[in-house]
Amino acid sequence: MTDRFIEVSLDKRGVSCTAKLLDDRAPLTCNAVWDALPLGGDVYHAKYARNEIYALVPPFAPQEPPLENPTITPIPGDLCYFTFSDTQLATKSYGYEHDAKHQGRATVVDLALFYERNNLLINGDAGWVPGIVWGTIVDGLDRMADACQDLWRAGALGETLNFRRA
């Protein structure tokens, strides 16, 4: 199979990076994401996992992928896929506004980008939260990490995280 690449962007900040899909390690997840592109939405910066930004999107796979190529310790450049039920993201401790676009969906997909070291996927309400590593950034991580730090400090309102075929 030929390598597949996507562009990951923070559109308001005008920053993007290129990621390679890990077809050999997470083929079902890669196919589901690839077939659904473009994907994206409002960006959030993680409260618990540390150096992570993510978008919450409606389910798009015919069947949710199994936990292939799992991790609880993502490294810089990892793209991860998580599936949550509506009740898992409903508590006020997560900080989502009442009219957030994912509210009311029975299932929510979280597409995440990890931009720095020392991440641990543990949640005080739920415990360990393993994710599927389906892609890795191969160009532009430094620019994206700077933009993610700005997102953390300056805020995420009005910003989107988008995934498109490169």
Domain holding 152, by residue range, is: 5-165
Query: pLDDT by residue (tens digit) across 116-161?
Result: 999 999 987 788 999 999 999 999 999 999 999 999 999 999 999 9
When the pLDDT of each residue in the chain is averaged and rounded to a whole number, the result is 91
- Cα–Cα distance for residue pair 8/26, rounded to 1 Å: 18
Res. 91 pLDDT band, cuts 50 70 90 = low
CB 128 within 8 A of CB 119: no
Predicted TM-score (pTM) of the model is: 0.93
Q: What average pLDDT does range 30-55 have in this prediction?
A: 94
What confidence score (pLDDT) does residue 156 get?
92
Res. 62 pLDDT band, cuts 50 70 90 = very high
Domains in the chain: how many in total? Answer: 1
Instruction: Give Cα separations from 39 to 7, 59, 98 (angstroms).
Output: 11, 11, 22
What confidence score (pLDDT) does residue 106 get?
73
If you ran DSSP here, which 8-state letter would residue 148 be given?
Answer: H
CATH assignment of the domain containing 111: 2.40.100.20
What confidence score (pLDDT) does residue 4 get?
98
pLDDT of residue 30 exceeding 60, the answer is: yes
What confidence score (pLDDT) does residue 96 get?
60
CB burial of residue 63 (10 Å; 0-12, 13-18, 19+): exposed
